[in-house]
Amino acid sequence: MISDIVDYYRDLIRLGEDSSAMRQPGTLVLPAFNDVFTARINGVYKKNKLRAMEVQEWPGVICQPYVFGKGTVDWTNADELKGKVDALLKEKRGAGLNVTRIARIYDGACIYLLKPDRLRYWLRSIALRDADETLAEMNEQGF
């Protein structure tokens, strides 16, 4: 996690949109993100382990699905979701303000993380935060 600070956050703070964390795609670090995210969740849910499934990408968006146990994800007609996903995650407010959202969708044994495709959203340090927030939400829902 310290390497995230050294490798990315210093430049992100200094350079903003011009930093490598904002220019590089997150697909480069998805395996490491998934390892941290699933390890954290599986530290609590030990019997029915969470597994990362095949990622779905649209321009500017990554959807990383996870499933507890042996479930599967059906991506039939996934291209039809692109417009809805864009509207959900991105909002323009006025001339100078853009809002970017991150979504977690819970569907039975599946969890879907929908985020922008930039590397900063898929770092290992972010995986820890996402896992903690996911565990808190699951606890609130009674799981």
In a domain, 126, yes or no: yes
Burial 25-38 (b: 16+ CB within 10 A, else e): ebeebbeebbebbb
pLDDT in tens, 75-91: 777 666 666 666 666 66
Position 2 pLDDT exceeds 80: no
In a domain, 4, yes or no: no
In a domain, 33, yes or no: yes
In a domain, 3, yes or no: no
In a domain, 95, yes or no: yes
Tell me which DSSP letter residue 47 carries: S
In a domain, 48, yes or no: yes
- For 39, the domain range is 26-140
Higher pLDDT, 117 or 93: 117
Q: How many domains does the chain have?
A: 1
Where do we find the tokens 């996934």?
78
In a domain, 14, yes or no: no
In a domain, 124, yes or no: yes
The pTM of the full predicted model, rounded to 2 decimals, is 0.77
